[in-house]
Structure 1
Amino acid sequence: MTEMKFKRNFCIVAHIDHGKSTLADRLIQKAKIIDDRQMMNQILDNMDIERERGITIKSQAVTIPYRAKDGNDYELNFVDTPGHVDFSYEVSRAIASCEGALLLIDASQGVESQTVSNLYMAMEHDLTIVPVINKIDLPSADIPSVKKQIDHDLGLDSADAVPVSAKTGAGVDELFEAIVTKFPAPTGNPDGKAQALIFDCHYDEYRGVVIHIRVKEGRIKKGDTIRFMSNGADYKVDQIGIFRIQYEERQFLEAGDVGYIIAGVKTVSDVRVGDTVTLAGDPAASPLPGFKDVKPVVFSSIYPLDSNDYEELRDSMEKLKLNDASLVYEKDNSLALGNGFRCGFLGLLHLEIIQERLERDYDQAVIFTAPSVQYRVKMPNGEEKIIDNPTEFPEGRVEASEPYIDASIITPAEYIGSIMNLCTEKRGVQKNMSYLDEKRVELVYEMPLSEVLFDFYDKLKSYSRGYASFDYELTDYQPTELVKVDILLNGKPVDALAQLAYKPSAAARAKKVCERLKDEISRQQFKIAIQGAIGSQIIARETVNPVRKDVLAKCYGGDVTRKRKLLEKQKEGKKRMKMIGNVELPQSAFLAVLKEKEE
C-alpha cells in the first residue's frame, strides 16, 4: 500500500474543447495501465453520446502509478471533468474530491469564459492550481500571448505553466513531474473514524449501485458494515477497490484514497451524491461538508409515449438520477399525455443529453414539453408563488417577475457588432465592456434567462464563427409582462403545448409554433384550425386544409345545378365531421415545437 505522502489527487479543468480528455488519454498511455491494443481515443468517455459529440458529460476517475525522478513510486488519482457550462455541477463534485487542479488552456484560443469560472470554483475549494498550455503543436499556437493572459486574466504565475501537446505527447513527462512536485499530498488520519465523501455513483445491472468515494479520514475494508449519514441506511461491503479503467480490487481504502465500494445496494434512492459514508460500528460524529446544492434553471415535463410505460420510465429516471445528481424531478400529469415527470435541468444541452440517454441507455420512448424557467407570480389572493409549469398560471392580469442572468461573453473584436445586436434583440442591457488585449473583448450583459433558452447559443456561435465563449450566472428576479400562450387544435387547448412568454413577443412565438405544427399534422377529411391564444384572444392561426374527394368525377357534362348540389352535399358532410372530428398529434409535433433553430 502506498504511503500517504506518495499519493496525489487532482482533476483536469478547462473550457470546452481545450483537450482535457486527450490529455487524460496521454497520462493513461504513459502509465501503461492498459494495453496499446485496448487503447482508444477519449478512453474515459465511456458513453456513445460523449464520443459522437466529442464532449465529456460525466466526470471519470482513474488511478495511475508513476515512478518519479526522485526514485519514489507515486499513486496519482485524477478526474477528467466536463467543460460545458451545463455540467459545472459535475466539475464542482470532482473538485471537492481533490487537492490540486490542472487548468488547461488552448494555445491557439487563449483564456475563455469557462476557464475563468472553473478557476474560481477551484480557488473556492483552496486547490493548488497548475496552468497547462495545451496544443503547442498547432501552427496557430501563440504561447507568449497565452502566458500574458495567464498573468493578466487569471492572476496566476505564467512561469509555472507547463507547455504540452496532448495529441503528440510532447511535454507530458514534465507535466508528471509538476504534478508530483507542485500538488500537496492528501491529509487525514488513517486510524481515525472513517469518513468518505460520495462524489459520484453509477448503476451496474449485475452489481447494483457502484459508489465512487474519496476517503478523507480513517479506513474502510471489505466486510465492513458502512452507514450513509444522510439516511442512516446500513450495508455490508462486498467489494472495495480503485479505478484502473477496469475495477481493481483492494483489501481496504484509507485516508487519501479515491476508489469505489460495491455493497449490494438495491434501493437506488438510498445513495445520495455528496453524502458521507462512515462505519456503522464506530460512526463519525458529523458528516463532511457536501457540495453546493444544485439549482436547476430550465424546466420541462417528460411523458412516456405509451402511458403503460410509466413504471418503466420511473425506474429509468431513478437510475439516471444516480448517475447524474444534477437531475431534479417530481411527478406530473397532463390531460393530453397522462402521467409523467416535471424535471429541472442545468441548461438546454443537459436537457438534450438526458433525452438521448433515456432513449439509448434505457430504451424509453419519451415526449418532452417546451422548456421553461421559474417565474415568481403574485396570485389573485395576494400570495407569491413560484411557477415553472404553464398549467399553474392563473387567469387574468397578474404581476410576475422572471430570473435574470449576468452573461459574460468573450469574443474576438471583429464580431463585436453582431453580438451586441443579438444581445439587444434578446432584451439584454450592457453592463460592461472591456478589452482583454488588442484582439479579445469581454462583454457583460444583463438579460432574462428565458431569452437564452431558445436559440441564443446557436446564434452566438454562428455570428462569431465558433470563436465566442459564453458563461452565465443567475443574479435576481425582475418584473416582467408575462402571459400564457395556449395552443388550440380545432378550438380545444392542448395543455402540453402551452407556453409562458414575454407579452410583446408572444404573438411571434405563437405564430412560429402554429407554423411548425401545420407541417407536422397530417391532413384529415376536415379542415383543422391551429390557433395561438392569450385567454380568449386569438393571436395566431394556421389552417390544415382537408383532403377532398372529387365528387364531380362521375359528371360528364350535364347541368351545373347538379354539380352544385353534389358539392353542397359534400360541404354539409365536412361540417358534421369537423364537429366530431378529433386530431391525432404525432410525437414529432411536440419535438418540432422545441427546435431552437430559426426557420
Structure 2
Amino acid sequence: MKNIRNFCIIAHIDHGKSTLADRLLEYTNTIKVTEGQMLDDMDLERERGITIKSHAIQMEYIHKGEKYTLNLIDTPGHVDFSYEVSRSIAACEGALLIVDATQGVQAQTISNLYMAIEHDLEIIPVINKCDMVNAMPEEVEDEIIDLLGCKREEIIRASGRTGMGVDEILQAVVERIPHPEGDEDAPLQALIFDSVFNSFRGIIAYFKIVNGSIKSGDEVAFINTGKEYTADEIGVLKMEMSPRKELHCGDVGYIVSGIKTATEVKVGDTITHVERPCDKAISGFEEVKPMVFAGLYPIETEDFENLRASLEKLQLNDASLTFQPESSVALGFGFRCGFLGLLHMEIVQERLDREFNMDVITTVPNVSYLVYDKQGGVKEVHNPAGMPEVTLIDHIEEPYIKASIITTTNFIGPIMTLCLGKRGELLKQEYISGNRVELHYSMPLGEIVIDFYDKLKSISKGYASFDYHQDGFRPSKLVKLDILLNGEPVDALSTLTHIDNAVDFGRRMCEKLKELLPRQQFDIAIQAAIGAKIIARETVKQLRKDVTAKCYGGDVSRKRKLLEKQKKGKKRMKQIGNVEVPQKAFLAVLKLD
C-alpha cells in the first residue's frame, strides 16, 4: 500500500489538464498517445475540446529503483461539471493544481482548490504552458504563492505540449502525496465514485478501497441500497479494463456483478462483504444541488418509457443529473430534470440523442421558487404551470447566489453594467494582484440561468471567470408571463420573471416567435400576457392565394364575390386550425439576444 498514490488533476477550463495527462501517460509508457486528449473518449468531448467526465487510469512509475502504482483521475474544468470534480477529490489523497502561464489563477481554479483543501488533499502547484511566447511564469508564481502560501521552489513549471517538467511532476507525486491510509485486515469498505452502463455486462461500478481487500467471486453488499451481489470480475482501470484476482486497500478499480437496474447503484455508496460487513458507510459525500430545471419531453408520446430508461442509464454515468416525472398540457408526459447549468443541459440533450437515439423537446429552463399563500402555507414550484392563482399568493421567494467574478481591470465597467441589469448587488471588490480584480455579487439565480455566462464571456473577451454558490431565498416581485397563440396558452413557453423585466421580455419573445413560426393559411396572433392583461402582440400573416387571378375584366362585384368566398373559408379554417410550435422556437427563446 505504501507504493500507491491516488491523485487528480484540477484546473480552470482550457488550462491544459487533459494534454498534461497525455504526457504523464506517455512518460510512464502506459499507452501510446496517438492523438490529443486520449482520456476524453466521448465524441462530444473531442468535438468541443472540453472534458465532461472524470476519467480514472492507472500508471506504473519507477522511482529510485522502486515501482509505484499511480492512479490518476483527470477532471473537467467547467463550473457545470464541478460535481464530477468533487467525486474525484473524494477518491484521492492529492491533487495537481494546474494554472495556465498565460492566464494566471482564474475563478474555477480557486473554487476547485477550496474543494480539495476541505478534503485535506496534498496540493502540488504546476504552471502549465511555460513554452508559450506570452507566458508570464513569474507573475503566475506570485499569484499561486498568494493563494496557497507555498514556497516558490515547490511550484513546478511544465508544458503539456513539449513534455517539459513531466518527470518533476511524477517525482513530486511520489514524494509529496501521502500513500492511502487504511487497514488491510479490517472488513471491506470501498467507496463508489462513478459507474457506467454496459449493454452486455450490466452496470460496472468504479470504486476506491478504503479498508480491507476484495477477491473476485466474493459475496458483496451495497450498504445504502441493501442489495447483495457476487463480484464476477474485479480489476483496475487502464485505458481498457484489466481484470485482477484480488484488489487491496488503497487500490482504485472496477467491479462487474451483473447488476441490471440502474437505481441499485448510487454514487457515494459503500461496498462491503456480506459475511463480514463494516460498521458504517463512508461519510463525507455530498448530495448534488441542481441549479437549473427544465422539462424534457419525448417527441412521440409512446417513447415515454424509453426516455425514462435512457435517463436512468445516463444518470449512472452522470450522477449530477436528477429527474422526476411530470406532465404538461401541450407536451404530454415527460420529466422535470435538474441540471448544474446550461452547458450541462445541452450536453445531456446531445448525449440522449447520440447514445440512446432519443429526440426530446426541452422547455425553457427555470429555477425553483417558494410560493407562500395567504394561509401561511408554502409550496415549492419548479414549473410556471404549477403556480397557484394570483389572488391566493401572499408573496414569492426566489433563490439567490453569491457570485465571484475574476477579471482584469479594463473590463470592470461592462461587467458591472451586466450584473446590475441582472438585478445583482455588489457586495465587495478586491484587487488580487497586478491588474486583476475579484468582484463579489449577490444575484438572483433565475437571472443567470439563461445567458449570463455567455454574455460575461463575450464582454470580457473570454478573460472573466465566474463561480457561484447558493445563498438562500429572498422575497421578490415575480409574475407569470404566458405566451398565447390564437388565444391558447402554450405552457411550455410560459416563464416566471421579475415584474420590471416582464414587458420587455414579453415583447422580445413575441418578436422572436414571429420570425420562427411557419406561416399558416390563417393569421396567427402571438400575445404575451400577465394574468388577463395582454402586454405585447405580434401577428404572423396568413399565406394568401390570389383567387382573383383567373378573373379578368368584367364588373368588380365578380372579384368581390371570390374574395368573400375565400374569407369565409379562412374563418372556418381558423376555428379548426391549430399551430405547431417547432423545437427551434423553444430553444430560440433561451437565446433571445
CA distance in 1, matches of 2:216, 2:146: 50
Selected match of 2:149 from 151, 155, 159: 155
Answering whether residue 283 of structure 2 is matched by residue 289 of structure 1, we say yes
Q: 1:420 aligns with which of 416, 421, 428?
A: 416
The correspondence of residues 163-562 of structure 1 with structure 2, limited to 5 A, is 163-397=157-391, 398=393, 399-562=395-558
- Structure 2: which 5+ runs fail to align? none
CA distance in 1, matches of 2:173, 2:103: 24
Query: Cα distance, 1:297 vs. partner?
Result: 1.1
Q: Given the alignment of the two structures, is residue 132 of structure 1 paired with residue 145 of structure 2, yes or no?
A: no
For 2:284 and 2:35, locate their aligned partners in 1 and report how far apart those are by CA, in whole Å: 35
Match of 1:14 in 2: 11
> In 2, are the aligned partners of 1:153 and 1:436 still within 8 Å (CA)?
no
- Distance in 1, matches of 2:573 and 2:374, equals 40
What is the one-letter code of the residue matched to 1:295?
K
Structure 2: how far apart are the matches of 1:428 and 1:591? 25
The CA distance in 2 between the partners of 1:100 and 1:437, in whole Å, is 27
> What CA distance in whole angstroms lies between the structure 2 residues aligned with 1:64 and 1:178?
15
Kindly report which structure 2 residues correspond to 1:12-91, keeping only aligned pairs within 5 A, or say none.
Answer: 12-36=9-33, 39-68=34-63, 70-91=64-85
Q: Distance in 2 between matches of 1:481 and 1:475?
A: 18
Q: How many angstroms does 1:496 deviate by? A: 1.5
Q: What's the CA shift string for 1:108-128, capped at 9, x where partnerless?
A: 111111111111100110111
SS in 1 for 2:589: helix
Contact map agreement 2:509 2:592 (CA 8 A) in 1: no
Q: Is the 8 A contact 2:234 2:253 kept in 1?
A: yes
CA gap 1:597/1:530 in 2 versus in 1, 3 angstroms: closer
**Aligned partners of 2:296 and 2:361 also within 8 Å:** yes
Amino acid at match of 1:465: K
- 1:45-74 CA distances to partner (integer Å, 9 max, x unpaired)? 111111111111111100100001x21100
8 Å Cα contact 1:57/1:82 also seen in 2: yes
Quote the offset at 1:337 in angstroms.
1.0
CA drift of 1:380 comes to 4.2
TM-score, structure 2 as length reference? 0.98
| Shift, 1:298, TM fit | 0.5
Q: Give aligned-pair identity as a percent.
A: 55
Query: Structure 1: which 5+ runs fail to align?
Result: none
**SS state at 1:126 partner:** coil
Q: Which amino acid is 1:16 matched to?
A: I
Q: Secondary structure at the match of 1:5?
A: coil
Please tell me the residue identity of whatever aligns with 1:552.
Answer: T
8 Å Cα contact 2:409-2:437 kept in structure 1: yes
CA contact (8 A) 1:373 1:450 kept: yes
Match of 1:577 in 2: 573
- 2-side partners of 1:130 and 1:256: how far apart? 20
CA distance in 2, matches of 1:597, 1:459: 12
Deviation track 1:133-164 (CA, whole Å, cap 9, x = no partner) reads 11000111111111110111333333211110
Contact 1:150 1:157 in 2 (8 A): no
Map Cα deviations across residues 364-409 of structure 1 (whole Å, 9 max, x no partner): 0000000001111112443111111111111215311111111111
- Distance in 2, matches of 1:123 and 1:156, equals 13
1:592 to 570, 588, 592: 588
AA of the residue aligned to 1:486: D
1:530 deviation in Å? Answer: 1.1
Secondary structure at the aligned position of 1:61 is classed as strand
Give the Cα–Cα distance (whole angstroms) in 2 for the partners of residues 157 and 519 of structure 1.
60
Q: Per-residue deviation at 1:290?
A: 4.2
Count of residues paired in the alignment = 591
